[in-house]
Chains A and B, each alone.
Chain A
């Protein structure tokens, strides 16, 4: 197997609402990545997207993107794996290069969600749930997040204040990220402890409040990968190696899991990625965690093994996950502040890892020269998860 490096990354314009087409949005991010890589000699394009067929009335996105950017003779395919589409597409891109089938691959994720009304978006996301055991009974993803939070509250003593603390941290990081959809400071008083917090931060699905959940976002992200050998020839940038990838699965219906607070797919994906990278958990310097709901930041950190079960919220109380903390989490602002255009998220996480490892993250740069970085891209409600580890060469 050949070693693989990421040589270019891009997120296009600021996430939030994009007035052009889905393909234009993905092209913008792709061109940023191509510019960053310094090459457009791309053999293959993998496009990550979850719902364009439904909410944008468009399919065959890879063909459309290759055509729009005139990347011929590159070949391509679209990859749908729920909110883990981005991580999955990057993993497939890695495999294509490592196996020797392709030399240079572009992975672009994008989702244009704000064209649809909120009930349509909620329903489109809910189609990832178990069709007979969950969806037909009206389950939504905020309600699944709420049930997970309630169990966490009862079992481990996590509180609404803990979730608010994570949101405040992620909003603070998002303020330093020019690509972030939400660039707004929030305070504990404003969202939780004052009387008016009831209106400022209304309950979405008890016990989750508005600021405990991610926004609906348009956005795209792109990475260019090639063999490490080729990267050394063509790239003038610090090379970032794709050192580990793992994928884990779990039951589709959450109630079939023995302990819903243990995310087996997160553990399996993380274990595989760490073994492949030849690293221990203590070697990882920071992480991008898939926090569609802030309770997931806690649950994924624990299931991935970075904290003991029931202890992550205690570390968060001590500030360990702040940018200057012992183990920074979501320096980009995560899904909460950067936003969560589902197909783009897994790719955007890798862009953030690259910027941080190169030392190009500006105001939100993690100190002390980080060497190894981890991302978890969470599909379904934890039934299909991809973990990735990137390292400085």
Chain B
């Protein structure tokens, strides 16, 4: 029996059928970098995937192996059309195109509820992850979600999202990342606290910065050093 591969693909995106991308913006980081935040295409995701083959080897270090492996599977599923409604947002240095961090998420558990997947930072100490996480939440709410379910796989993630963003516990909801109890960012919390206190960035992105980022998705050479503080030879 022959099977058409397209039969295996998920149905059309329910709340974003035209696949309108997240509106790009740029953010001033502490070191002066203009970080361009933009949604990337399936073809662009393929350029980023190799990063995670290194990261999954980081055993016993702040759950990077677990989170790296899950992101890797999510990106592979995205590029092979095996996941529904996923989107991937990159933070890139606007001058060099270097990848500073990545976030991904799924828009529709149902049209009102989104499911946050992962956040990973490759340039630490500049709050790249904090900015990118809020950007992916912004996309959920721009596209009409009323709530987003979120879990943390590391203590630092719990501190960053559950505590800093004052998320509501929803222990009755099993998050799709392992079925653990969810937390929730509600629209009320989004508008009342996160937007005024945590949502930053300017639009439009200057053309030259956007072009730099589209022209070259530069994979950081020192990602293991950035994560662990240890150079390769150590």
Contact = CB atoms under 8 A, between A and B. Distances in A.
Interface stretch (A37-45, A188-196, A226-234, A326-334): A188-196
A219 to B, nearest CB: 13
Interface in B198-222: 198, 200-201
A187 B32 contact: yes
A194 B229 contact: no
Nearest to A18: B229
A190 B131 contact: no
B79 to A, nearest CB: 31
A388 B8 CA distance: 74
Interface string B132-156: 0000000000000000000000000
Contact of B30 (A14, A17, A186): A186
B29 A190 contact: yes
A121 to B, nearest CB: 14
B28 A189 contact: yes
A201 B28 CA distance: 12
B197 interface: yes
B200 A185 contact: no
B31 A196 contact: no
A157 to B, nearest CB: 26
B127 interface: yes
Contacts of B58: none
A54 interface: no
A321 B218 CA distance: 38
B200 A195 contact: yes
A190 B26 CA distance: 13
A111 B201 CA distance: 39
B27 A196 contact: yes
B28 A198 contact: no
Contacts of A200: 28-30, 126-127
A195 B29 CA distance: 10
A200 B27 CA distance: 10
B21 interface: no
Contacts of B33: 190
A82 interface: no
A119 to B, nearest CB: 11
B127 A194 contact: no
A293 interface: no
A199 interface: yes
Contact of A199 (B32, B125, B130, B229): B130
B28 A194 contact: yes
Contacts of B28: 189-190, 194, 196-197, 200
A141 interface: no
Nearest to A191: B30
Interface in A174-214: 182, 184-187, 189-191, 194-201, 211
Interface string B1-33: 000000000000000000000000001111111
Contacts of A186: 30-32
5 closest A-B pairs by beta carbon, nearest first, are: A196-B200, A187-B32, A190-B30, A194-B28, A200-B30
12 contacts: A186-B32, A187-B31, A189-B28, A189-B32, A190-B28, A190-B29, A191-B30, A196-B200, A198-B197, A199-B131, A200-B30, A200-B127
Interface of A: 14, 16-17, 182, 184-187, 189-191, 194-201, 211
